[in-house]
Amino acid sequence: MNSCYKNKLNKYIWEASIEEVKRGFIEEDEAYKCIICEEEFEKGQV
């Protein structure tokens, strides 16, 4: 695995709370962001 990709992936996991890691996503103002693939989902569409 490319170390640059690994560091980027870890950024979201390390910044997430325990509850966010359990859920697998971070809640932002208008969207949810997957901590693994970084894909964003607009609130109300999921």
Q: What is the pLDDT of residue 1?
A: 47
Q: Which helix (H) or strand (E) holds 23?
A: helix 18-23
- For residues 2 and 28, give the distance between their C-alpha atoms in angstroms, rounded to a whole number: 28
6: left (phi over 0), alpha (psi -120 to 50) or beta: alpha
- For residues 28 and 6, give the distance between their C-alpha atoms in angstroms, rounded to a whole number: 23
Domain count for the chain, please give it.
Answer: 1
**pTM (two decimals):** 0.64
Q: What is the pLDDT of residue 11?
A: 79
Q: What is the pLDDT of residue 4?
A: 47
User: For residue range 1-46, what is the model confidence (pLDDT) as tens digits?
Assistant: 444 455 555 678 888 999 999 999 999 999 999 988 888 999 988 6
Owning domain of residue 31: 3-42
Eight-class DSSP state of 19: H
